[in-house]
């Protein structure tokens, strides 16, 4: 399904709620909450966190879907076309890759002393 | 453009890099870095942060595109179809809305004493 | 109580656990999880989020204590003295304030076009 | 130095600025920005991120000091005593550890199917 269409779907969903859009910084707070839940799920699946006895295992797809939803809400309320934004990012990364940026420079210390 | 196709585009981009995929927790660290840049941009545009003299204004679309890119990388490496995940989120939110969850309960204190 | 002593207290606590220190990026994932919980609590107390019926109100102090705990774990495992780091931050901010940096520059557009 | 005193020091610093306290969600946005910078530094020092040629290596202590500063600002404006909050966290974690919570349960799948 078209990302632009999905973005419109999310707009329609918000417009059907009685409260409409939250202010951008409240939506950011929500994005951070969802990012935290994704971090927890990744730490359980690929890191060091363990579940407490009886705790249900997290669902990565659910956390990622929730995060993308909130990102699309923020895009809608700030007038960003997320599809175009992603394509611009891919272009920028490709130009950076071709110009050799980001390659490991083993001469450089990893931290300031 | 199809979100599923965009997700494949991101996979192809990563596969063309010499180092391939970072471990999931390193990609999470990158997602957090991008979230921080989006937070800064939103705080400048809709919050309290001001630019230092001469500092270029941030570009919201760029920060959102970068965040979505990293989310797609994480989805690829953990086997998540982000389009399907978003549609499941929309379904879940719709069911929750219809059952009346999440409505403001003015009887409940906002913080524990 | 001395921040340096509290930092040692956290080190002693970790050393008493059977698994010891998690890798830094797993502790970062945990820091992000705690930040997400604080974001949720602030969004409920000062933003737009509402509690579902029966959901207990969050406790800000608890979320902040958990976040500081994980920050101290990260400081311990990377050899940072957090008290000294905070004092250096206060000095740096004070110098920046006195040199006039960060003041609102109304001439600058808030976003790139 | 006493954490409670450091918290007062941060309050005095904010009170000397012309704009005073930002709203809590704007301070949260700043906390997220600082968390992102710490994530970047940890990803460079202990993860997969590399510096671009000529890019200065990050300073972990600086990022941690900045993060603690913003956490103390949030604590001040919401009436939280961070020292007491940390001690309560240590108590809670100790009780949880003694009751055996959080130990790895190898019977539980790491993700929902």
Cβ-nearest to B42 among A3, A28, A92? A28
Task: Give the Å distances, CA to CA, from A4 to A10, B2, B3.
Answer: 10, 8, 9
**Per-residue model confidence as pLDDT tens digits over D51-102:** 988 999 999 999 999 999 999 999 999 999 999 999 999 999 999 988 875 5
Chain C residues within an 8 Å CB radius of B27: none
User: Minimal CA–CA distance to A24: which of D2, D11, D28, C74?
Assistant: D28
- The percent of residues above 90 in pLDDT, for chain B, comes to 81
Residue in chain A nearest C30 by alpha carbon: A40
**Per-residue model confidence as pLDDT tens digits over C38-95:** 999 999 999 999 998 899 999 999 999 999 999 999 999 999 999 999 999 999 999 9
Record: contact D64-C82, CB cut-off 8 A: yes
User: Minimal CA–CA distance to C46: which of D113, B103, A85, B111?
Assistant: B111
State both tokens at D63. Answer: 């990022």
The upper half-sphere exposure of residue D69, i.e. CA atoms within 13 Å in the direction of its Cβ, equals: 24
State both tokens at B38. Answer: 């989006």
Q: Are B104 and C50 in contact (CB under 8 A)?
A: yes
Chain A residues within an 8 Å CB radius of D105: 50-53
Record: contact C61-D84, CB cut-off 8 A: yes
Does C106 contact B at CB distance below 8 Å? no
Chain D residues within an 8 Å CB radius of C67: 71
Record: contact B44-C112, CB cut-off 8 A: no
Does A29 contact C at CB distance below 8 Å? yes
pTM of the prediction? Answer: 0.91
Cβ-nearest to A51 among D53, D55, D105? D105
**Per-residue model confidence as pLDDT tens digits over A10-58:** 999 999 999 999 999 999 999 999 999 999 999 999 999 999 889 999 9
Does A22 contact C at CB distance below 8 Å? yes
């Amino acid at each position: 399904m078209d990302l632009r269409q999905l973005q419109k779907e999310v707009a329609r969903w918000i417009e059907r709620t009685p409260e409409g859009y939250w202010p951008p910084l409240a939506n950011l707070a929500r994005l951070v909450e969802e990012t935290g839940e994704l971090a927890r799920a990744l730490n359980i699946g690929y890191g060091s966190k363990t579940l407490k006895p009886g705790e249900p295992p997290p669902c990565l797809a659910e956390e990622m879907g929730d995060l993308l939803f909130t990102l699309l809400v923020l895009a809608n309320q700030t007038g960003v076309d997320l599809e175009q934004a992603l394509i611009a990012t891919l272009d920028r990364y490709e130009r950076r890759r071709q110009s050799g940026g980001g390659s490991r420079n083993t001469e450089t210390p990893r931290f300031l002393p």
